[in-house]
Structure 1
Amino acid sequence: METSDSDMEIFITQNIFSQTSEVVINSDFEDLLNTTISEPKDTPSFDIGVDDISSGSDDFLFEASQAIEERIYDNEFNLSNKRKPPGPLLQKQLQPFVPEAVTAENRCRFAEPLTDSDFSKLCNSSYSRNTENKSMWAVRLYQAWVDERKTREGPSGCDLNSNILELAVNEGELNKTLMYFVTEVRNRKGEEYRGNTLYEVIASLQYFIRRNGIQINFYESPLFSGLGTVLDAKMKSLARQGIGIDKRPAAVITVEQEDVLWKRGILGEDTPQKLIDTLVYLIGLNCALRAGDEHRNLRAGPNSQFYLTNMENGCKTLRYTEDVSKTNRGGLKHRRMEKKSISISVNRERPERYLVRLYEKYMSLRPRDGKCSDFYLRPLRFVKDDTWYADCPIGKHPLRGTVGRICKLAGFAGFYSNHSLRATTTTRLYDAGVDEQLIAERTGHKSVAIRSYKRTSSEMEARVDDIIQRKRRSVTAAATVTSTTSSPTFSVCAAPATIEPATEHATVGQDGTSPRDLQLVLKDGVTLSLKF
């Protein structure tokens, strides 16, 4: 194949260069170039010790790269004196830390050095006082049984060691000894303990052993199956004998009984003791406090659980915010638990029972320069115009027995304690049809235990009995009769009548519901029919 001439053509172009060239640069760039050429910097060595970089292993190359970075870092910070010194901020950061001298001003910043006994006291304070006392009572009861058992003739059948911690080292011997203890223990009168009391005694002994570093479980461990069997049989035997069946819960204070307390002057504000009793009653009722330490833990002053707020309508409201309680100890396990907060507003219908006014009066009658932060102070025997209370807290036992004492003065039959106020709050809300969640927010319950505080009233029990036996319920009926003529409307109050439910009609109303009829049979034989 012949090649054309066009394919063989070669195009040659000619470039013409200037004999002279000029580069226009600024002075800063020129100085930089001159400095670089005249004063070369000391560059770090990048020799990694191998001819070919591909011949090194991965670990070797990693170590080599680290070495190169260190050389670059050292070169940057170890240049000649021509490098500018670090600024004042960097100089301050590079200065060594010098501890602050102890002076009179900063001397009280930290607490004094603690001892081992201080740490032990701090740790023990985190436990419930009632639980600690109950466990020590159970230990003393066990020791008393061991001491008396040693004086009895005959074989012991178990290891009678009064030190239960030493006995707990051997689970088998502890199990056998407690089996005898459960069946033989009695109270000071020589009578049988209730079944629940025996259960709490064993639980308290377990708590005491665990508190001293020995982890055991009387109720779930197979090593103590004998104790569980004997305890269960003993509780069932006591129940068959009728021992411990009747519980004695704190009685509920009815609205009629509350009115009696006010009408007879047992509650009021005219004396120091009466004002304290009234505050205990109203605070326990409105805040649903427990009978234990919650009243005792109330404080006055800047860290008080109470504070006053002003509403938009000008009325004052008392706010209570719980800090610690039985279910919220404020520790690690309770740090995210929501605390109970209650607002107590004005009571215009019964101003003598207005808690905010009584609270302000009580706070004004405390010692003005008092140092005691407890809320309830001891009443003075000889009062002054502006001071009714001493600068010291009221006794624990007088405070705990407040409700029982005032109910006894009123002549109420039954068992009343400060815990009756909490039960009264729950029962009143329950009878009024308040939702269980709202009741729990007021009482601070975290579980279904709130249902145990719902006390069925006698009216509700009578209603259930009437329904079962199909009794007629006696009511006082009041009817409003509207005349169809031109005569005016008038009201008729009927005498006590009995309600008889009539048969339901099969017709359906316009709204889709089936109407019903009620017949009121009066004493004079008149029957009043109601349709709804």
Structure 2
Amino acid sequence: MEQSSDQVVFEIMNIDDDFYRNYIFEPFPVENADVTVSQLLTINTQDLYATENKENCSDTSRGNISGRFEKPLSSDDIKKKQRNTVPYNTTKNNNWAVHVWREWAENRNLQPETKQEPGYPIPVEIEQFRSYAEMDFWLQRFICEIKRKNGEFYPPTTLQNIAAGLQRYLRNEKSMHVNFFKTDDPVFTEFRRTLDSRMRELTNEGIGIEVKSADAVTEEDEACLWGSGVFSVDNAKGLSNAVFFYNGKVFGLRGGDEQIGLQAEQFITGYDSAIKRRFVKFLPRIRKNTQGGLKQSKKAASLMQPIIHYDQEKENSYSIYKIYESYLNLIPRRGNFYRKPLDGLNFSSGTIPQKDLKGYLKNMFIQAGIPLDNRNISNHSGRVTLCTKLFNKRYSDKTVKKPFQT
């Protein structure tokens, strides 16, 4: 079957966003000519122009009588909003914990011993227990019997995380008011004791004592990244690499959702006439420990104070201000921050896929030829570099954990 030109462009651009999938064949008006979104993705972002939203809010033919209110929401819409309050990685961990339960239950039901015990067969869907007493009974066995797929034991903290994931799933998805960890709740007392005992056994055996953490990027590493051309202000790829790293090192962004969800409008460059220095200002939004919901409504504003980096009088051979000023002038000033680099100093209107961003910093080290033996370099290494630098300068733990200004 012959592919359309839109499908070919779609493949080349490696676009996997639902928006583009849904609207790939929709005509898009550009200077009185109809082009598809896929064709638009091949246009340099410098050639794009902004259009005003001319929608008439009082258009009664669309059922929107007043522009003051949003359109009516369905129960599914409300449920989606509720789910959006849970961070992506938390949802991922919840689903993984449920998957472990399902695999264990299916396997345990095949064992002859299971048929002799109460509550047989074990519900593959954990919410389908007939009583909390039966759930408590089987959770005790579950937490002691599960292992990794390679046969190795889970570390103690992983067992605790699996239990927490099951609890969150039951609460958020099934509206069941369970609490596995409440010490004065008699319902799951036996499960808590079993989990505590199992964690102590594993710790005594030395399992899970060594904690993996990201390593910092050294000054030598940074110099090599510039010297090798992996960081550069002369081409789009080098600029993209540089802003990704300095978003961690300078502004303290974590390597996951905080990087992936960045928007261009969160960065402002300018000049402070009072101290005669240029600056880059970052405006934080939702972060891992600052979600801005009911629990943080009173302190969200203070937790999301702007972070400002002033160009130093004796800056290195590169200037943080110039890096960000150059990058922001080459991409749209609103919308996704990470755009696909093209040849020269050009960027596509398409964004870098999440799967590519997840290994961004490690791939930079490989491209620069920096050895990774016995080192754990990940996207989180940029933030670790910042924290290490602050600790070495004898800042207190409290200062490092707070929003800061550099």
Structure label with greater radius of gyration:
1
Say which of 222, 227, 230 aligns to 1:266.
230
User: Is 1:111 aligned with 2:70?
Assistant: yes
> Any idea what SS the aligned residue of 1:246 has?
coil
| Cα distance in structure 1, aligned partners of 2:180 and 2:69 | 45
| Cα distance in structure 2, aligned partners of 1:443 and 1:239 | 37
Identity %: 26
Q: Which moved more, 1:264-273 or 1:319-328?
A: 264-273
Give me the TM-score of the superposition, normalised by structure 1: 0.59
What amino acid is the match of 2:298?
R
| Cα distance in structure 2, aligned partners of 1:296 and 1:109 | 32
1:432/1:284 CA distance change after superposition, 3 Å: same
Q: What residue in structure 1 maps to residue 319 of structure 2? A: 354
Give me the TM-score of the superposition, normalised by structure 2: 0.76
Q: What residue in structure 1 maps to residue 348 of structure 2? A: 390
Shift of 1:443: 6.1
> Any idea what SS the aligned residue of 2:269 has?
strand
Q: Deviations over 1:130-185 (max 9, x none)?
A: 11111111001100111111222334435311121122x51211111011111111
Q: What residue in structure 1 maps to residue 308 of structure 2? A: 343
Shift of 1:107: 5.2
1:102/1:377 CA distance change after superposition, 3 Å: closer
| Cα distance in structure 2, aligned partners of 1:349 and 1:264 | 23
| Cα distance in structure 1, aligned partners of 2:364 and 2:313 | 25
Q: Does the 8 A contact of 1:134 with 1:204 survive in 2?
A: yes
Q: Deviations over 1:287-346 (max 9, x none)?
A: 11112211112112xxx2211232115432111121211222122222221123211111
The structure where helix makes up a greater share of residues is 2
Q: Does the 8 A contact of 1:367 with 1:389 survive in 2?
A: no
| Cα distance in structure 2, aligned partners of 1:196 and 1:281 | 30
Say which of 106, 128, 147 aligns to 1:186.
147
1:247/1:103 CA distance change after superposition, 3 Å: closer
> Any idea what SS the aligned residue of 1:151 has?
coil
Shift of 1:367: 5.8
Higher relative contact order (CA 8 A, sep 6+): 2
Say which of 372, 381, 386 aligns to 1:425.
386
> Any idea what SS the aligned residue of 2:260 has?
coil
Q: Deviations over 1:374-404 (max 9, x none)?
A: 0011223xx36xx622112211121121122
Q: Does the 8 A contact of 2:247 with 2:382 survive in 1?
A: no
Say which of 371, 374, 392 aligns to 2:336.
374
Say which of 368, 371, 381 aligns to 1:411.
371
Shift of 1:351: 4.7
Say which of 283, 294, 297 aligns to 1:332.
294
What amino acid is the match of 1:182?
I
| Cα distance in structure 2, aligned partners of 1:436 and 1:190 | 39
| Cα distance in structure 2, aligned partners of 1:319 and 1:280 | 15
> Any idea what SS the aligned residue of 1:122 has?
helix
Shift of 1:440: 2.7
Shift of 1:248: 0.6
| Cα distance in structure 2, aligned partners of 1:376 and 1:296 | 8
User: Is 1:170 aligned with 2:131?
Assistant: yes
1:241/1:435 CA distance change after superposition, 3 Å: closer
> Any idea what SS the aligned residue of 2:350 has?
strand
Q: CA RMSD in A?
A: 2.4
| Cα distance in structure 2, aligned partners of 1:103 and 1:217 | 49
Query: Unaligned 5+ residue runs, structure 1?
Result: 1-100, 445-532
What amino acid is the match of 2:319?
Y
| Cα distance in structure 2, aligned partners of 1:123 and 1:106 | 27
| Cα distance in structure 2, aligned partners of 1:262 and 1:272 | 14
Q: What residue in structure 1 maps to residue 279 of structure 2? A: 317
Shift of 1:356: 1.6
| Cα distance in structure 2, aligned partners of 1:154 and 1:364 | 68
